[in-house]
Structure 1
């Protein structure tokens, strides 16, 4: 038993690894006494390395965007973008990292071409960020895919107008449908149907509409969906109409 305890004492634990990583990370990435001071020092370093940077800070609200020279080269020739938002990036729940991603012509894989770090989830940071790319980085997109975010869509409309289509991410749309199917599709009086089966049928029909490529067929399927489900599941159909 004593030998086992001695062996355990020699083993690395998660906390040991994390503390070592945290020490190394602070030495490598944190140049100031606090994060905001460090951010300004990073700004100077990035500009010296050929990056373009946009930043704003007022009353504890900030946004900080940057793009490298090689990312600008890709951005200039790209027409279709995806705007991704990543939450939970720090211990402060309101902070979010936005990324603009395009399909690389050589690899066929997604490649990020710009970042925005902010603690303001309103339309303003994304709006100013996109204006910056439009005016200073030759960004001229024909389509941007967003993940069902109203502020993101509004920022695109204001900045790029009718020249840029807004496409909703299929995955996030399906997630929204699934959540609302669970709360809005109910048995009607006198019905004793299997709700799981009904929700599955509705989702299948919605996905059929989503992946249809012929405009006339889309319109026909939407009409058929309304006719079939409005009377039996009015709450869910009303949700779809209002969205």
Structure 2
């Protein structure tokens, strides 16, 4: 669309570069909107002054043998007015089909001279001929008070003899008061023939501010990120329990139950892969470890465990943590992969770089006798444990008896939990992981000679 006359437009179309038109001669959405707005304003407003325009409208309605009334209501509120009108056919249908009418208002229909919003009230009744609703009367006012409605209904009753039997309205106290006063109706009076049916809509939740929404989003995101940063299954389940509790508490106000369902659905597969590396029993975990070459531990592929695909997990010897893996997932996302989680589980090597201690800023101590390495310290601890196992048989038996008694008590409580209707799933899963880890640890201890020792594989 172009803002040009026909002759110029034909010349442009005949030229070769007609598609190279400047933006200034084109017509966009705003031009069309402005043209329609001016056209409608000319059709609806007979004068720039709203008072004068309504007076001219009243004269036009009377010329067409219609009906109208207007009144200045400054004594109730400065600038308050109302203007009601209808045609002959509307009055006829109102008397024929107006036994049951609906009174409704449309907000911000126009503006008065003081730039205040105006409201258009409409009486709608069902036509017995067509079966459809028809507007049978209008009233314009710039106030939401009861007085414009009251004078409008009195005009219909006194001037045109229309008395409604039943009226349906929104749950508006203002409209109820105006109807009661116009027809001298007293609430709960059984002698009257007028019934007010309040159409009660569901109360909407108060709108949340942008700041509140942003704060809730950030809080929910932090809870989910805490789960993703968990280093152990226990940490994950603790954070998952916090997230589940928050979703339950915020459900009524923020519909957080849908967020919880979305999180469970979208991240379930990733959680299963993560859990697969952690919950693999020790025998299977040891079978996935091919061997070690210096600071590199070779791990079989989970999807191709026939030794044709092997990934290298690099150990940072200086800081004692797993630095990287050669699999595509770790190279792409730069986050710990399932192969690194497996090595972490088998050899208990940290997945993240340890924080530098405050002592690192102190000057280095003078050289003395060399301090034992971490592996030597671990070997010393193992030797001490072996010595205790030989000389402290009574203490060991006492510890085992205490462990068995605790386990029997746990079985009793577990049987009670089975009969419960509502079970804290996250708590049960967390406890199950702890017991599984304890079982794996004891199995590893009992069969320490059946599999490769950590001291043999660690650097």
TM-score (ref. length: structure 2): 0.37
Counterpart in the other structure of 1:27: 42
Larger Rg: 2
Counterpart in the other structure of 1:165: 195
The alpha carbon displacement at 1:22 in A equals 3.0
**Partner-residue secondary structure (3-state), 1:74:** helix
| Cα distance, 1:27–1:88 mapped onto 2, change above 3 Å | closer
1:145-192 alpha-carbon deviations (Å, 9 max, x no partner)? 1111111011111122233111112xxx2332x438x9xxxxxxxxx6
Q: Quick check: 1:139 aligned with 2:158?
A: no
Q: Quick check: 1:128 aligned with 2:148?
A: no
| Cα distance, 1:128–1:12 mapped onto 2, change above 3 Å | same
Q: 2:94 aligns with which of 75, 92, 99?
A: 75
**Partner-residue secondary structure (3-state), 2:134:** strand
| Cα distance, 1:70–1:115 mapped onto 2, change above 3 Å | same
Counterpart in the other structure of 1:89: 109
Counterpart in the other structure of 1:228: none
Higher mean C-alpha displacement, 90-99 vs 150-159: 90-99
Separation in structure 2 between the aligned mates of residue 33 and residue 9 of structure 1, nearest angstrom: 31
| Cα distance, 1:116–1:194 mapped onto 2, change above 3 Å | same
The alpha carbon displacement at 1:86 in A equals 0.6
**Partner-residue secondary structure (3-state), 1:152:** helix
Give 1:107-118 correspondences, 5 Å limit.
Answer: 107-118=130-141
TM-score (ref. length: structure 1): 0.67
The alpha carbon displacement at 1:26 in A equals 3.5
Higher mean C-alpha displacement, 116-125 vs 55-64: 55-64
Separation in structure 2 between the aligned mates of residue 44 and residue 60 of structure 1, nearest angstrom: 22
Q: Tell me, yes or no, if the aligned pair for 1:63 and 1:125 is still in contact at 8 Å.
A: yes
Counterpart in the other structure of 1:65: 84
Separation in structure 2 between the aligned mates of residue 120 and residue 28 of structure 1, nearest angstrom: 24
| Cα distance, 1:12–1:136 mapped onto 2, change above 3 Å | same
1:179-225 alpha-carbon deviations (Å, 9 max, x no partner)? 38x9xxxxxxxxx678449x9xxxxxxxxxxxxxxxxxxxxxxxxxx
1:102-133 alpha-carbon deviations (Å, 9 max, x no partner)? 01112211111111100121110001100111
Give the structure with the higher percent strand: 1
The alpha carbon displacement at 1:45 in A equals 0.7
Q: Any stretches of 5+ residues in structure 1 without a counterpart?
A: 183-191, 200-243
Q: Tell me, yes or no, if the aligned pair for 1:94 and 1:121 is still in contact at 8 Å.
A: no
- Greater RCO between the two (CA within 8 Å, min separation 6)? 1
- C-alpha RMSD over aligned residues: 2.6
Q: Quick check: 1:154 aligned with 2:177?
A: yes
Counterpart in the other structure of 2:335: none
